[in-house]
Chain A
């Protein structure tokens, strides 16, 4: 069965500081990996995705993520955080024969200090 672990429930960073949100997955084959962001009271917006190829993927809003197969990780990074980045971030894994639904991690809530 596929699963996603986001070990950090809550992270606080200062505006302008760098950010890394951790994501580890368990999956039996090559996974499709995603990061979504959710602002309070809103739906989920796709930040970036990995299907194959270059293991460093670029997303919207200056985010990037790196797929490391040996570590079963897909960590999200941003070199300089903006106050508007405060939100909840979800890592998700997809794929699987005949099943297209995603499995989500429990999320990491990001707070940005001025």
Chain B
């Protein structure tokens, strides 16, 4: 049973470009979470999605960031007009539809570097 798959693992962008990070949840999982980890810091919640719905986006910056989880295909975290402060590791996690609260399975992360 494949785990949570994230790609790309590493992404380099210049300021002003767009970054797209993809996450395929574990098989059978319908809930996806995105977290951001800044250097030397813990994980900060960004957004929680179910298929075709954003459930909680309280941790998403108000501008330039968006997330989706379409009916078909992976979840996408999109960052427009990246700035140096966006450099971080972005982790995706998934959980089954009837799992206990918080039992998350994490991918290995996508590390974004903004030049």
Contact = CB atoms under 8 A, between A and B. Distances in A.
Interface in A85-111: 90, 92-96, 98-107
Interface in B88-115: 91, 93, 95, 100-109
Interface residues of A, number: 28
B90 to A, nearest CB: 11
Given A43-B108, A44-B91, A51-B100, A101 B45 contact: yes
Contacts of A100: 31, 33, 48, 55, 95, 101-102
B102 A34 contact: yes
Given A95-B101, A100-B48, A42 B43 contact: no
A32 B99 CA distance: 13
Contacts of A92: 102
B108 A42 contact: yes
Contacts of B41: 106-107
A32 B102 contact: yes
Closest 5 CB pairs of A and B: A94-B102, A106-B42, A43-B108, A43-B106, A44-B106
22 contacts: A32-B102, A41-B108, A43-B4, A43-B91, A43-B106, A44-B91, A46-B103, A46-B105, A51-B100, A93-B102, A95-B101, A95-B102, A96-B101, A100-B55, A100-B101, A101-B33, A101-B56, A101-B102, A103-B45, A104-B42, A105-B42, A106-B42
